[in-house]
Structure 1
């Protein structure tokens, strides 16, 4: 029963502390407030001056796990969002096994509509409502139009996780965007068109990492401003990102983060 208490504590903290803070930030910036569990921070730090070739290569311990390009994306996203690269690496590994392509249904993924019709998590009144909201949010994400006048994705063909997670970081569609009672869409503050193609694409590793980093950093900052120490604040930010049953999964995230930092001198702290 301990995990139920942990989950309730996380929900209460987010509802009474993190979300009011985000609403205040949204009011100051003159934009729509983010949805539940969503962050409001949307600023990116500039990258440092050009890196040397060695700095763009993964440490030897990780070269069999990620390519040089993926290492670059991880470390640049970490630098621009002020989040430890080890956390982004751990979440990518936990959420999708470091998948970057092949998001059509099959294998570990299923189509959203098939999950809503037959998935055991979608039975019952409350779960049906949850599934309907997830499907609406997926529709809004896929209906974005690229500058070349193509939709961001096809909701009938994409693959999602068993809880509708999208892309390599498993972004929860309901956290990204929700439809308000008046029909308007409320997008989370951490969602942006990072590469200038007209859409935010959760299946693009770079955009997924940057959005995750902004969200994590914002929730970390909020937790710190409310008195949590550094370790507890990062844990809360990670568990908020992971959602239900997060306390059980945090142990794996912590171990993967430690694996990333096992390279001598790689992690500063």
Structure 2
């Protein structure tokens, strides 16, 4: 399958590292004009240079801005007034005992993980509808369906993204625009490495720590390992293409079989 996204502009939020970085790389390799986003301008420009070199795509550009804030969102919208592909990847997570999550933390998680995505969809969806082509993708998580006891606030936001995606898919019905969620399973990123260490300790070698984490905290995984970010990116690139034109309102799983259900 040859995916050609030449002529399409894609904004990937929080794309200076982890899953977002892998998605930006995959879209750039498919020929899209990719907009890298992150909070720090220096880091964004560094990643832009790296991606141009790694992919041979000189159309990679940067749009720094904290999308959890009004000012940051406004800065990104000024820099990128229109996109064809919107990948809402921004998200925060962490383990906190459920009864210790206060109101401020609940609000912070909802603001960053949900409302930041909603604001961008509101901004970019009308233009996609007018052009009769567009792709909106929200990075959800297995935690949306199998909510972990140690991070209920995170699971709540990812469940919300499934509803957001489904609802906006209905709003875009018949326009040529698709809106989907991608349910990512436990994925190997720097942030997850820190999370694994938080749960199993710092003294173990990484391979053993990862193995213990999967057995003790994610035993439902059928692949019995952390997913690599590139594996998530493959699904996003496919859903961004013309091959996925009949897939909308869906929650597509790249979870290593973690969710014990035929449907999400």
Bigger strand fraction? 2
Give me the TM-score of the superposition, normalised by structure 1. 0.28
Q: Which has the higher contact order (CA 8 A, sep 6+)?
A: 1
Give me the TM-score of the superposition, normalised by structure 2. 0.29
